[in-house]
Chain A
Amino acid sequence: MFSEDMVFERSLQRTLGNWAGNYNPRPGTRARLIRAARREKLASQSDVLVEGRHAYRPIDLDANSGVMGALPLFNQYFWLIFSAPARIRL
């Protein structure tokens, strides 16, 4: 003979188990997961590429601050600035 508590316990286990087993994940959840993970993977790889590209920038603004920071810019545009009057005369 089962006591009331045992019957209740068994009933609860079966009812909750059946209830949860009655539902399934939305169709396509696996595919969406893989797509999202692939996007994250690609994004992390492109971050590395962007960092690499930045490393070849001629001017590192963090390292060159203040008046001295303008020197690379001055060097870069020196000939452009001083050749302008000559080009205007021509």
Chain B
Amino acid sequence: VEAAETRSLVLKLQDGSLDALGGLYDRFNRLVFKTALGVTGDPDVASDLLQEVFLRLFRFAERIDPSRPLEPWLYRMTLNLSYTWVKRRKWAQPLEDISEWLAGDGKSQPSVMAEQREAWDFVEQALSRLPLAQRTVIVLYYIDECSLQEIAKILRIPPGTVKSRLHYARHTLKEYMRSQEQLVKGLNFEFT
């Protein structure tokens, strides 16, 4: 049913319907936002990219095949725009500052308890240490909960490559958590 509704909205979008654009936004904004957030680590940038992805969906609606699922197109567009943003940022800013901006300046962060904020900062710093290719796989697998096959289709790479990227990313994250002596704290936080 959902696929049929999405198809219907895409067809209306191809006729230039702004209501259909709103409908697709309501349906898929979390998917795009979470993916952009995971790759960029910045909720403000993720909001900008969210708007840009849907604007491009509107602009290029005629190129979309309504008979196929929309999600892979949205993931690809989000990742492409996020990559562009991360690369520009890296080019413009010294590497040592990256973990700082990924941790954010607090202006747009939700009001959470200090302990939780510390945990989120830790997650953001851990993600920022991963190479972009590995970070993408981690985001799609753990945040978007895509399967290995789905990730392979989205990224247009063999499933074996997805597996190996996931393996190395997990290893890096684990080592980082150990080095920061946060593993036990993180587990307590999760399982209590």
Contacts and interface: CB of A to CB of B under 8 A. Distances in A.
Interface residues of A, number: 29
B63 to A, nearest CB: 15
B51 A32 contact: yes
A73 interface: no
B137 interface: no
B54 A16 contact: no
B187 A41 contact: no
Given A8-B174, A10-B190, A40 B59 contact: yes
Contacts, number: 91
A15 B190 contact: yes
B186 A38 contact: no
A33 interface: yes
Interface in B141-161: 142-143, 145
A26 B21 contact: no
B5 interface: no
Contact of A25 (B46, B58, B142, B143): B46
A78 B43 CA distance: 67
Contacts of A26: 43-44, 47, 108
B46 A15 contact: no
Nearest to A30: B25
Interface string B28-41: 01000110011000
Interface string B41-64: 001101100110011001100000
Interface of B is mostly: helix
A14 interface: yes
B168 interface: no
Interface of A is mostly: helix
B142 A7 contact: no
Given A33-B25, A38-B18, A41-B16, A25 B47 contact: yes
A80 interface: no
B106 to A, nearest CB: 13
A23 interface: yes
Contacts of B189: 15
Interface of B: 16, 18, 21-22, 25-26, 29, 33-34, 37-38, 43-44, 46-47, 50-51, 54-55, 58-59, 108, 110, 112, 119-120, 123-124, 138-139, 142-143, 145, 170, 173-174, 183, 186-187, 189-191
Given A15-B186, A17-B145, A29-B50, 13 more contacts: A11-B186, A15-B123, A15-B189, A16-B138, A19-B119, A20-B143, A23-B33, A23-B110, A24-B33, A25-B46, A29-B51, A30-B22, A32-B51
